[in-house]
Structure 1
């Protein structure tokens, strides 16, 4: 039986910066790059992709740290925000600029020798590219995203993947910003090295495995980042927080006034109060179910529109290929005539 490796294709570290919820700002992750590597090894992963938001520094740190081990490879990636949603680049050498068009972003990734993946393409609550993915030169997209426990987002992605077998590689990424949301899902591939993994992507031999992390895990992650952010703000107040190159989270906290950091610490304690956390769990569950329920009503109609869109795209691409072939033929004929005249 062929050996199958396991890869987590979508993870975050404390180099992912911060996010905003209304007037509040909070860290995306407080897990170090080294911590992600240690976690991946404990779970028996053979490949780890570090894909921080709009940053590759954490990936390079994780890759350097992992070189001392012979049981895991780390791929440097980036979950890049385009002007129409997010795209993941893997095997990067430098970070792409954010807020470019998806087409420009994919070109930049491919020029580095990287591969392009669409994360959570049909998400009901974060920045997925939706139908835009069909117009892009993607190697694949996620059919399981660990941060989507709702009944729609991953299911619909899998439905589309199954309608077009072999067209894209399928991925299952934890989207883990925390240890609480890791280990529930992964991507399987023939082999056990990053070279094997890349080959499996290009030959469409990957398999999406596992299930999303539960809502409770997402809430535990939110509590972890609030507590971690509080500790960083407290260090800043004591003038003990040192700058870290390319770390947007530390940079932001150091740029805050003492009053803002003190307020952030106080607000954090309110969120960490057990009743508040329980309320967050209930509200999150209700929010996801409500949005998924609305999306479920239009599944058949949406699939029909997508099939029509892909047929139109394939027709355009086929015409472009035919025109290109005709141009080559004409160029060859012209060259043949010139050569005969010279002879």
Structure 2
């Protein structure tokens, strides 16, 4: 059931962002800082599979996270579909993986991209930011604005929209992605961190926005714990912090090659009469 900010127990502005209180205005959390304050958990809650525009299958992602990363929690957030994430959870639940899993979706609203986390049903694309947030909250999920405040990226939520949501008493963001490791975060990460810490004071996340296996874990959210329930609690309590690095050239190369091959396969496919 949708609740108001007050009913949800929103923290006041003095406390809501204590996850980044020790950081400078435009700085992410380093691994040394995270370890020093006991924030050992690492989550990556924004990545894509072949169910949208990612290179890797669900099986490949789960195996890669298990064998090649030290992530504690992941979410698969394909564009405007939830089927892959639900399938991933089903496979994860039947396996013996050391990491926890969150069902998610990256929603294409008319005003920018939005992560829906801890949801069970697809959020339709093409709705307003406010309506999409409401639908996520109706499912008991968390609404996190993805790669915001990039001036030239058409899928980036802009300042006017964030200001409107911030001023509303009936709709709210649960967090903001202030470190996006992809091209979406180039220069915009620092704007997002600075603006959030000055104005919105939302809980902050760092994510990879991975479209290739090698990019998974490049962006991370530091938190105290190891489970999906604990990363959710950290976000709700304003105790999460962004960290990580940007994609390396290998990730760009693999993704570009995958997209070109995909286009070539589509061009060779016989037309349906």
* Band of TM-score, shorter chain: 0.7 to 0.9
In structure 2, do the counterparts of structure 1 residues 47 and 229 end up closer, same or farther at CA, with 3 Å as the change threshold? farther
CA distance, structure 2, for counterparts of residue 161 and residue 258 of structure 1? 50
Q: Does 1:39 align with 2:96?
A: no
Q: Does 1:224 align with 2:251?
A: no
Contact 1:180-1:221 at 8 Å conserved across structures:
no
Q: Does 1:257 align with 2:264?
A: no
| 1:261-286 Cα distance to aligned partner (Å, 9 max, x none) | xxxxxxxxxxxxxxxxxxxxxxxxxx
Residue 88 of structure 2 corresponds to 62
SS in 2 for 1:31: coil
Residue 11 of structure 1 corresponds to 47
Residue 135 of structure 1 corresponds to 164
**Please, which of 90, 115, 136 is the counterpart of residue 109 of structure 1?**
136
Indicate the RMSD between aligned Cα atoms, in angstroms.
2.3
SS in 1 for 2:45: strand
State the 1:140 CA deviation: 1.1
CA distance, structure 2, for counterparts of residue 163 and residue 230 of structure 1? 47
Residue 189 of structure 2 corresponds to 154
Q: Does 1:80 align with 2:107?
A: yes
Question: Which structure exhibits the higher relative contact order, with contacts defined as CA atoms closer than 8 Å and separated by 6 or more residues?
Answer: 2
Residue 298 of structure 1 corresponds to none
Residue 202 of structure 1 corresponds to 236
| 1:191-244 Cα distance to aligned partner (Å, 9 max, x none) | 00000010000001111111111355323311123235545776xx5xxxxxxx
SS in 2 for 1:11: coil
Structure 1 residue runs of 4+, over 4 Å off?
228-234
SS in 2 for 1:10: coil
**Please, which of 139, 153, 158 is the counterpart of residue 125 of structure 1?**
153
Q: How many residue pairs get matched?
A: 227
* Larger helix proportion of the pair: 1
Runs of 5+ in structure 2 lacking a partner? 1-36, 166-171
State the 1:161 CA deviation: 2.4
User: TM-score of the superposition, structure 2-length normalised?
Assistant: 0.76
| 1:276-309 Cα distance to aligned partner (Å, 9 max, x none) | xxxxxxxxxxxxxxxxxxxxxxxxxxxxxxxxxx
Contact 1:49-1:76 at 8 Å conserved across structures:
yes
In structure 2, do the counterparts of structure 1 residues 149 and 50 end up closer, same or farther at CA, with 3 Å as the change threshold? closer
State the 1:97 CA deviation: 1.2
CA distance, structure 2, for counterparts of residue 146 and residue 224 of structure 1? 19
Residue 122 of structure 2 corresponds to 95
In structure 2, do the counterparts of structure 1 residues 151 and 101 end up closer, same or farther at CA, with 3 Å as the change threshold? closer
Larger Rg, first or second structure (1 or 2): 1
Contact 2:39-2:222 at 8 Å conserved across structures:
no
CA distance, structure 2, for counterparts of residue 75 and residue 38 of structure 1? 16
User: TM-score of the superposition, structure 1-length normalised?
Assistant: 0.61
Runs of 5+ in structure 1 lacking a partner? 17-27, 238-255, 260-343
State the 1:70 CA deviation: 4.2
